């Protein structure tokens, strides 16, 4: 992977110019991330100075950085009394999905009335929580929150709109969790229980879905049309033969091409991520061998 320090380069693909890049730009990262062949040609236009890093060094640095950050998040979560009842596995999953965000003094982190889909844990600094008086239109100070405190959970537990303002009282660092991760890993913060499903009805729905799809075979589908074609295969629009109202996008991969480009681990990782995703648009059941295109 290359970092342009000085000069200018031109990027072309199959003889067609795509763009030019100057100092501060990065290129060649796809070959490092996915271990694949180069997808474009980069040619110098003037004298160029580059910094380069090889795949092994890059992966070592990223792995070490990721492990250090993960360890820091784990230590922080264990120090917060609210989360001490959670299992080590759940804490580790929380640390995986957290994103670190920074706010300046006086900056609004949450605005009253805005739609919310994130949950915040303060890891550094303090915030003021205020609420607008509907009569006088004044901001009433409710409380001050600091390290280890959390906020934003009401918007994730049914309230679509934020009910208060949260303003940084000094430079603040927060660990942010999205709605899906909050629901599946934390659930309700009243007892900080680990709930994968919101209620028994949702659980029954997922179990029924798993049972339905685990029994399907490839010959149960009719291919209607091709939705898209990529570097490793294509996506087909398919329809159940015995229930034509049910249609799906089925990803079909070229096994030989995957093996030739050594993408096995990448494809397995994609499959596992899709399986763990809680979305009405993704079939989460463990497929039979006939539905594995790897």
The answer on whether 93 is annotated among ligand-binding residues is no
Instruction: Give 154-206 as a 3 state SS string.
Output: HHHCCCCECCCEEEECCCEEEEEEEHHHHHHHHCCCCCCCCCCCCCHHHHHHH
Q: Which helix (H) or strand (E) holds 132?
A: strand 127-132
Closest CA to 247 of 275, 203, 281, 208: 281
- Burial class of residue 167 in the structure, from the number of CB atoms within 10 Å of its CB (0-12 exposed, 13-18 middle, 19+ buried): buried
Q: Are 271 and 285 in contact (CB under 8 A)?
A: no
Q: Beta strand pairing status for 172-178 and 139-145?
A: unpaired
Going 241 to 219 to 266 to 258, the CA torsion angle's sign is negative
Maximum Cα interatomic distance, the chain, rounded to a whole number of Å: 69
What are φ and ψ of residue 282, in 5° steps?
A: -125, 130
Please tell me the distance from the alpha carbon of residue 146 to that of residue 249, in angstroms, as a whole number. Answer: 46
* Ramachandran quadrant class, 57 (left: phi over 0; alpha: psi -120 to 50; beta: rest): alpha
Q: Which residues sit in the known binding site for ATP?
A: 251
Q: Which residues sit in the known binding site?
A: 251
């Amino acid at each position: 992977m290359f970092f342009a320090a000085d000069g200018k380069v031109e990027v072309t693909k199959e003889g067609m110019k795509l763009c030019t890049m100057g100092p501060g730009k990065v290129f060649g990262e796809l070959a490092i991330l996915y271990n694949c062949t180069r997808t474009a040609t980069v040619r110098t236009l003037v004298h160029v100075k580059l910094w380069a890093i090889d795949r092994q060094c890059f992966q070592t640095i990223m792995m070490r950085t990721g492990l250090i950050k993960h360890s820091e998040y784990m230590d922080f979560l264990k120090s917060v009394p609210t989360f001490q009842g959670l299992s080590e596995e759940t804490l580790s999953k929380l640390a995986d999905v957290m994103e670190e965000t920074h706010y300046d003094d006086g900056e609004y982190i949450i605005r009253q009335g805005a739609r919310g889909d994130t949950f915040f844990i303060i890891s550094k600094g303090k915030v003021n929580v205020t609420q607008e008086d509907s009569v006088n239109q004044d901001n009433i100070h409710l409380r001050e929150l600091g390290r280890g405190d959390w906020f934003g959970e009401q918007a994730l537990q049914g309230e679509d709109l934020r009910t208060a303002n949260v303003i940084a009282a000094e430079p603040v660092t927060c660990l942010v969790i999205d709605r899906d991760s909050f629901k599946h890993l934390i659930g309700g913060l009243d007892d900080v229980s680990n709930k994968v499903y919101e209620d028994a009805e949702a659980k029954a729905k997922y179990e029924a879905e798993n049972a339905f799809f685990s029994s399907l075979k490839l010959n149960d589908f009719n291919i209607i049309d091709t939705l898209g074609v990529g570097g490793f295969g294509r996506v087909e629009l398919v329809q159940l033969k015995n229930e034509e109202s049910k249609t799906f996008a089925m990803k079909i991969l070229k096994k030989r091409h995957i093996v030739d480009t050594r993408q096995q681990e990448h494809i397995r990782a994609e499959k596992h991520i899709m399986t763990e995703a809680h979305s009405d648009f993704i079939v989460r059941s463990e497929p039979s061998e006939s539905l594995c295109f790897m």
